[in-house]
């Protein structure tokens, strides 16, 4: 066995350290430029692909003792505070025995989004992040960034040709209203809630049946309606409903999973063996729905006022 050339190792180590220093210097120089491109680019657009919240949790598990309570899943609330109160009363919610789980999109479109967030938080409920919740978080991050950099909002909008409705829209106004506690509460919502005791996943929009959970795009999980050629799409006139693909895959699986979701108001309640779609169009004058996870899989509804067309 040949001896070790320690001088060569030392030389290599020195060159490695020099290279690492160069890389670190480049990182320090490039990072601010990257932030500028991200936040200040003229082609700026706010969506879950090119501007994500500062952090997100992809998967949370619902653990005991919460998972051992009576689980009650509630569809898209969209700021419909009065209707949510009516539903909670109708299901005879008991905080000692029951645990509420929301499928996301608790804010926007309806008249009392902040009140909804406050109520859900006070009840200790679980919730996954919806695309409207996510949009409010994104705008909040922009506002916080501008504030931290002492960049006037009006000046930023004017100089970088950003549509005024990004910050003056309903989502922008909600972002301004969020205090730190409510912001952090919204930010804590996972993309996927895993309930192993019942082989359940809760998501806002859907999941791909043939892609591992950790490889799925959070944006797709919050927005998909259909699947075409194995790819998710938010369009409902392209391909077929993702739930059709999911149910077909679970029927062939030795360990099938059931998904509870919202998002797809145009299809209203969509109940299949391995998926439960709970967006029954409350904010459009439909109903707000709750699924009681008992032997009967009971669904309870309340009528809603129409807040948007």
Task: Please write the tens of the pLDDT for every residue from 18-69.
Answer: 444 433 333 333 333 333 334 333 333 333 333 334 578 999 999 989 999 9
Q: Mean pLDDT across the stretch 263-269?
A: 90
Counts for the chain of helices (H) and strands (E), in that order: 10, 14
Both 212 and 299 in one domain: the answer is: yes
| Number of domains into which the chain is organized | 2
Question: How far is residue 204's CA from residue 126's CA, in Å, rounded to a whole number?
Answer: 13
The mean pLDDT value of the chain amounts to 84
Which residues, in sequence order, are bridge partners of residue 275?
259, 272
Would residue 63 count as lying in a domain? yes
Both 148 and 228 in one domain: the answer is: yes
Q: Mean pLDDT across the stretch 257-271?
A: 94
Lowest model confidence (mean pLDDT) among 26-40, 53-67, 259-273, 285-299: 26-40
Question: How far is residue 185's CA from residue 187's CA, in Å, rounded to a whole number?
Answer: 5
**Cβ(175)–Cβ(136) below 8 Å:** yes
Q: Please, which pLDDT band fits residue 235 given cuts at 50, 70 and 90?
A: very high
Would residue 54 count as lying in a domain? no
Both 114 and 206 in one domain: the answer is: yes
Residue numbers of the domain that contains 35: 1-40
Both 197 and 129 in one domain: the answer is: yes
Both 131 and 187 in one domain: the answer is: yes
**Nearest residue to 282 via CA among 299, 265, 298:** 265
Both 284 and 195 in one domain: the answer is: yes
pTM passes above 0.75 = yes
């Amino acid at each position: 066995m040949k001896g070790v050339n320690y001088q060569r190792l030392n030389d290599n180590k020195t060159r490695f350290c020099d290279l690492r220093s160069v890389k670190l210097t480049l990182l320090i120089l490039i990072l601010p430029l990257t932030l500028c491109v991200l936040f200040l680019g003229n082609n700026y657009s706010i969506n879950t692909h090119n501007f994500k919240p500062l952090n997100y949790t992809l998967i949370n598990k619902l653990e005991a003792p919460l998972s051992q309570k009576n689980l009650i899943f509630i569809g898209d609330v969209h700021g419909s505070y009065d209707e949510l109160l009516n539903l909670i009363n109708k299901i005879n919610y008991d905080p000692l025995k029951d645990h509420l789980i929301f499928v996301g999109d608790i804010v926007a479109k309806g008249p009392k989004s902040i009140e909804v967030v406050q109520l859900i938080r006070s009840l200790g409920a679980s919730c996954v992040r919806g695309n409207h919740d996510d949009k409010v978080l994104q705008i909040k991050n922009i506002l916080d960034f501008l504030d931290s950099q002492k960049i006037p909002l009006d000046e930023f909008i004017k100089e970088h040709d950003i549509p005024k409705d990004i910050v003056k829209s309903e989502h922008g106004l909600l972002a301004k209203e969020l205090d730190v506690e409510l912001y952090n509460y919204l930010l804590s919502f996972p993309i996927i809630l895993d309930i192993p005791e019942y082989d359940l996943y809760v998501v806002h929009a859907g999941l791909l049946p043939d892609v591992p959970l950790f490889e799925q795009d959070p944006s797709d999980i919050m927005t998909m309606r259909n699947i075409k050629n194995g790819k998710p799409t938010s369009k409902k006139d392209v391909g077929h409903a993702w739930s059709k693909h999911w149910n077909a895959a679970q029927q062939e699986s030795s360990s099938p999973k059931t998904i509870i979701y919202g998002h797809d108001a145009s299809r209203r309640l969509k109940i299949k063996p391995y998926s439960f779609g709970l967006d029954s169009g409350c904010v459009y004058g439909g109903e707000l729905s709750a699924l009681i996870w008992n032997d009967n899989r009971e669904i309870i509804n309340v009528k809603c006022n129409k807040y948007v067309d």
